[in-house]
Structure 1
């Protein structure tokens, strides 16, 4: 059988060389073909079908229709094709996160699965586009959460979708004439800030069949302008623009599923939003003036995603707990007084996968944190726990006495009650000012974090010690600690991971078995790092960043191990 394997491999090599020749030495075509062949079984019949495909011989193809791209595109399922084409409309210089893109795919009805697993299905298509090299992860963002699309791939996809979709950018002279000449299903526009001839909202109004409208940058919206002209709209994304004038007519969008008004000038949502029964996705990320959510929000039983990150929201209506379809909730304001929704409203939201709290320092009673029932949310994979930072720009505490011991004990108890379920993969803690990190981050009980892959800790004001339960975590890939002025020494507790039952040094397993990157930034008082040569740690470390600290020398363990 090994003889047959060798023959099969030789045949594959021969076919591979011939496919390579057809790519004309274009690196992108080679990458895309590699991505396509990865999806095939490694048997020569499958590869021969790719080699002999009639698409290679189509002559007179427009240059957007690169043969390799066309082959890869034709090999996609019909749902994945739609997802890919929509991706190509996203304005090139704007940042779109994976959950936003998947939200658009869901809203458009591209994903055919049960309501429970739509996000998972979207994730699968997103990964497939990456595997096929049709989109490429942006290295600046962790965990492939942002991708870029190569210009050649983008113009290919826009060419394929040309009959029903148009992606325009400011500075094009003929946008208005294109809009009047064609009935579109999808339109995206990217406006640069300094353009004098900004497009008027009224020039969009003939597009009565639009299902998706994406506008990034300033568009000229006048007081009488309205959304009433877009009865079929399912996806509306407007960013970095003034949109207040449109809010009055928002409820006219009877079929809207996806509403994103990021970095705009809105301060409230209209009460009539309760009539928009199909809404699944609302993002107001970065709307600094936004303060108030109407009571009618509790009527939107289909909501899957709510994002208030970077807003000034201080009021969530009571009864919020009926929104049991929520998968993601970002920027939830932790308040306890008055008529505000308390953390216990989150108790019944058992489908949450992604949860962010803001202002946890406002919680005076840890029992209300317990009522959020984090440990019961078995689907939770990302958790953000934010307090207002007490650090100055130089990374030191603002005033010596600004945090009482009582406040510290209070925040310690609150965090203790926010112990996540064991499926958690991403943990992000900001502004924590307790003296110790919660017990569930420490060695004996770090089982709560057994699936953790990514850890960010920012502005850790008063802790004198890094958490000592991390070194045993089997999947941890990335740690970033940013500004921790109370830490002067990192001792053996950070790297020494004994088998719990047999603490003999000979039984030691390597600490941080999967950690690839660790960034320790702004630990401004850190002087000493103890890690002995014989202690095995960081066997697969690729990147170590140390910035703004007082370390005089690196530990001997680093040179001998990593």
Structure 2
């Protein structure tokens, strides 16, 4: 084994059961820049024959293996996604896995590198990723000699030509192509008689072969993001082994009658709801009892609750993920709930969603572009059967919704809530955080609501001004991350500061009414952007990382003794450093400012700005210059009192004015020039 590889990883690998070893090695094929979900990874393992099944379904076994690899630290969770849905592999571990599979597998990130390696060997599995600016193009012709391929993963910058074919790979089981132009290959696709897994994500493909039913072993079809794709072949209903079908973000508006015959489907995304005479496509879902994941779109086409009831969602006991989406009539130009739908249409969509009530086993719900004023009754505290297994809730683009659901706080397993685009909600009140059956108990006896909530995101609530949560209401004891943006919130609620004692990350962007942030005693990371009225930040004793961008009225920073890193971006129209820099002592300051401020800093001890940054151990300051934010710099370390800058060298080339001229320029700029009443007026600084 190469000395560069970690022998400790080998010991961990050696300890794996045989089946888990294969899953681990196969995961290393995943392109670095691609987001493959848990369902996609498990589907790859199933189609490659790496799972045995037995007493549980193949999907359940795959999920167990996935979680086991996480527990053994062989793959790592992407925290941007909820519930471990997306994982990646560290480069060191990836290199080890590729070394162990080197006789059968090739993973490359450059077209020319792939070309050279493919000349010398035949591989069973190949992954080529050429995404990104400057990446070399990979030509299909390079693959012609790889007759033994069972798995082929290609991402980005793929060059195919008329006449290129898939017939070179008679043994292919897995074909995953992403963000590439491959329409020329569709004609030969049906000849892949052993293909189990077909993913053509975000490609230019506009159709599948009409005789797709001849690919009898096909289990997985993913067309996500194929914007030109319009029609599913009628013969797809003959693929009795199909387990996974994704039509999200395509132009598919109908499905073949008889779709209900695909009874082995476990994952179905982007299913279009529409009516043809007295037949509604939702009827086809009624008999699909094996579904674990389901998303339905175009629900505005359903004309009555009676038709939506035929989907029989409440009878699907294995369904753990559900997406419900409207589109078409609800456009991007909505303003504060003003939609074109009549009162009758609004009542219809509310009735349709009320009937689409999932079984209580549901774990994830996504509702998008719903134009009713009230969310479905099964989400409320008065629901007959509460969704007690729910872990993830996403509500996106709700133009008319006036209130958040009031039953969520009772759900014991809820971990993640995201609200994005609810422009008419003005207040989040007690109904959101307080259980009704506890209202009359003494405060000492109240159980904490939202007992397992870990992340809360509230975005695009443009009229939201007030969050009512008093200190006597216990809630969110495990909340770790809170993100708020695009609202008018005037203050943070007292209950949040008092009870969210696990809160580590706080992100606040584009909040118009907020004046102060105080007493978040557990927060470690704080990210602030475009908060025009913010004047004070204090009492954050555990804060280690602070980002401040465009907060022009901020004057006070105090009581943050643990601060290590401060990232500061000041407005191009500010010509001096903020005074509050004197009151904090971060180990590292990263500053982005204009050239005038940077020039003052370059003067060192003779500058009026010296006392604002000379106590900081390490300073990196850069001036914005078009697209190159790091063209001019000042670097400073307090231990040596040494300043390094390229500004002085630039004077000689004429690119920057010398200091004396710069001072004059700054004074002129401070005499702010602006238009008033059609005249150019000069104000004194």
On whether the aligned pair clears a TM of 0.5, the verdict is yes
CA shift in 2, pair 1:487/1:505, >3 Å = farther
Aligned equivalents of 1:71 and 1:385: distance in 2?
A: 46
Could you say which residue in structure 1 is the equivalent of 2:512? none
- Greater mean alpha carbon deviation, residues 479-488 or residues 276-285: 479-488
SS in 1 for 2:201: coil
1:89 aligns with one of 29, 34, 38:
29
Aligned equivalents of 2:131 and 2:401: distance in 1?
A: 45
Answer whether contact 1:446 1:470 (CA < 8 A) is retained. no
Could you say which residue in structure 2 is the equivalent of 1:311? 250
- Greater mean alpha carbon deviation, residues 147-156 or residues 192-201: 192-201
Could you say which residue in structure 1 is the equivalent of 2:119? 180
Could you say which residue in structure 1 is the equivalent of 2:72? 132
Could you say which residue in structure 1 is the equivalent of 2:424? 486
Could you say which residue in structure 1 is the equivalent of 2:195? 256
Unaligned runs of 5+ in 1: 1-60
CA shift in 2, pair 1:164/1:339, >3 Å = farther
Aligned equivalents of 2:149 and 2:465: distance in 1?
A: 60
How big is the alpha-carbon RMSD for the aligned residues of Structure 1 and Structure 2? 2.0
SS in 2 for 1:237: strand
1:384 aligns with one of 323, 327, 332:
323
TM-score, normalisation: structure 2: 0.70
CA shift in 2, pair 1:448/1:113, >3 Å = same
CA shift in 2, pair 1:93/1:371, >3 Å = same
Could you say which residue in structure 1 is the equivalent of 2:204? 265
Deviations 1:97-145 (A, max 9, x none): 2211111100000001149611111111111111111111111122211
Could you say which residue in structure 1 is the equivalent of 2:344? 406
1:193 CA drift (Å):
5.4
Structure 1 runs, 4 residues or longer, greater than 6 Å off: 389-392
Answer whether contact 2:254 2:273 (CA < 8 A) is retained. no
1:396 CA drift (Å):
2.5
Higher-Rg member (1/2): 2
Alignment of 1:298-447 (within 5 A): 298-337=237-276, 342-388=281-327, 396-397=335-336, 400-445=338-383, 447=385
CA shift in 2, pair 1:95/1:340, >3 Å = farther
Q: Which has more strand, going by share of residues?
A: 2
Alignment of 1:240-255 (within 5 A): 240-255=179-194
SS in 2 for 1:548: strand
Aligned equivalents of 1:322 and 1:160: distance in 2?
A: 42
Could you say which residue in structure 2 is the equivalent of 1:146? 86
Aligned equivalents of 1:167 and 1:401: distance in 2?
A: 50
2:405 aligns with one of 464, 467, 470:
467
1:77 CA drift (Å):
1.0
Deviations 1:377-400 (A, max 9, x none): 0001000111128777687247x3
CA shift in 2, pair 1:195/1:454, >3 Å = same
1:295 aligns with 2:247: no
Unaligned runs of 5+ in 2: 501-685
Aligned equivalents of 2:406 and 2:56: distance in 1?
A: 37
Aligned equivalents of 1:171 and 1:397: distance in 2?
A: 49
TM-score, normalisation: structure 1: 0.85
- Greater mean alpha carbon deviation, residues 505-514 or residues 429-438: 505-514
Answer whether contact 1:214 1:237 (CA < 8 A) is retained. yes
Aligned equivalents of 2:328 and 2:497: distance in 1?
A: 35
Determine which structure has greater relative contact order: mean sequence separation of CA pairs < 8 Å that are 6+ residues apart, divided by chain length. 1
Answer whether contact 1:441 1:467 (CA < 8 A) is retained. yes
Aligned equivalents of 2:304 and 2:330: distance in 1?
A: 24
Q: Which has more helix, going by share of residues?
A: 1
Aligned equivalents of 2:225 and 2:172: distance in 1?
A: 23
SS in 2 for 1:233: coil
SS in 1 for 2:318: coil
Aligned equivalents of 1:186 and 1:171: distance in 2?
A: 16
Answer whether contact 2:212 2:235 (CA < 8 A) is retained. yes
Answer whether contact 1:395 1:484 (CA < 8 A) is retained. no
1:508 aligns with 2:416: no
Could you say which residue in structure 2 is the equivalent of 1:201? 140
- Greater mean alpha carbon deviation, residues 199-208 or residues 424-433: 199-208
